[in-house]
Amino acid sequence: MTRQPRLATRIVAHVAVIVLVMVVLYPVMLVCKKAFEPGRDFALSPSPIPHTVTFDHFRTLFGQRGSHGEYLFVRQALNSVVAALATTVVGVFLSCTAAYALSRFKFPGRKAGLTTFVVVQMFPATLLIMPLYVVLDKLGLLNSLTGLVLVYSTTAIPFCVWTLKGYFDSLPRELEEAARIDGASAWLIFRKIILPLARPGLAVTALFSFMTAWNEFILASTFMTSESRYTLPVLIQSSVGEFSSQYGIFAAGAIVTSVPVMAVFYVLQKYLVGGLTAGAVKG
């Protein structure tokens, strides 16, 4: 029989977990405090509870207008949503087809392609700014959401391909062989058998692609030249400059921007553990 841990051990373990959670959540609580606390600068008090609650920072954030009178937050939030969703669709579609081919078929250049995906992940995004800028300029896609989606997709696809390949490797090949005996085509097998079984892996891929586009700042601020084309991270960063810093607006924007990501996590949470685990142990 398995021995049950002693009461003292369980108490220590729970206390340790509580302390770790508090350490992780403390900076988040300070940001929330500043978002609801009046004033532009962070208070020196270490308490995460605001003494006075106000919504002025959120009103200022939502009320900012552009040069043509449009509400900047609404416009840039729409840009972020379009860029993130388009990157997710493109990233998931290209990644799942490429990963399935790399997992199931043997062809010349297969190992070289997988190695290339790993090598590409080693380079930081800032190293790719100049060549990507030149490519987008030649294609006429600067200051365009289409160009931004293409850039985000190229940075997300290598990781997504490796994650999905590991998950496809874990799926039994006998299911496909049985379907072929029944006369199913390769496309029908992929669409009706493989994709439904790969939902956890697809959830991880979709989440990563969404977060890549939603939280990215450097590429959006470089390739976009007009404020009506900026995304939310660029809008939030503009509140903290070299000569003027409005940390209340910055904190309010950080909270609002994190809500969609938390919503996506909540929707996909039942698939995340299985997808990450399977993609990590199979290669």
Report the CATH number that the domain containing residue 115 is assigned in CATH.
1.10.3720.10
Can you give the pLDDT at residue 273?
A: 62
Residues 16 and 153 in one domain: no
- The 10s digit of each residue's pLDDT in 203-251 is 888 888 898 899 888 889 889 888 888 899 988 888 876 666 788 888 9
59 found inside a domain:
no
Residue 3's pLDDT band, with cuts at 50, 70 and 90, is low
Residues 74 and 39 in one domain: no
Residues 18 and 145 in one domain: no
Share of the chain above pLDDT 70, in %: 91
Residues 32 and 116 in one domain: no
> 189 — phi, psi (to 5°)?
-65, -45
Helical H runs in 105-144? 110-122, 129-139
Residues 150 and 201 in one domain: yes
Can you give the pLDDT at residue 281?
A: 43
Can you give the pLDDT at residue 282?
A: 44
Can you give the pLDDT at residue 268?
A: 77
- The 10s digit of each residue's pLDDT in 132-141 is 899 999 999 9
Residues 204 and 273 in one domain: yes
| DSSP-based three-state secondary structure for 230 | coil
Can you give the pLDDT at residue 280?
A: 43
Residues 201 and 258 in one domain: yes
Can you give the pLDDT at residue 214?
A: 92
Sign of CA dihedral 153, 158, 159, 163: positive
Amino acid in position 237: Q
114 found inside a domain:
yes
Share the mean pLDDT of the chain.
84
How many distinct structural domains can be found in the chain? 2
- The 10s digit of each residue's pLDDT in 174-200 is 888 888 888 888 888 888 888 888 888
60 found inside a domain:
no
Residues 215 and 101 in one domain: yes
d(CA 189, CA 109) in angstroms, rounded, equals: 24
In which domain, by residue range, is 277 found?
66-281
61 found inside a domain:
no
Can you give the pLDDT at residue 18?
A: 94
List the Cα angle 156/78/137 in 5-degree steps.
55
| CA atoms in the 13 A half-sphere facing the CB of 210 | 17
Model's pTM, two decimal places? Answer: 0.81
Can you give the pLDDT at residue 4?
A: 59
17 found inside a domain:
yes
Q: What is the arithmetic mean of pLDDT over 54-73?
A: 85
Residues 47 and 151 in one domain: no
Residues 162 and 210 in one domain: yes
Amino acid in position 15: V
Can you give the pLDDT at residue 106?
A: 85
Residues 257 and 149 in one domain: yes
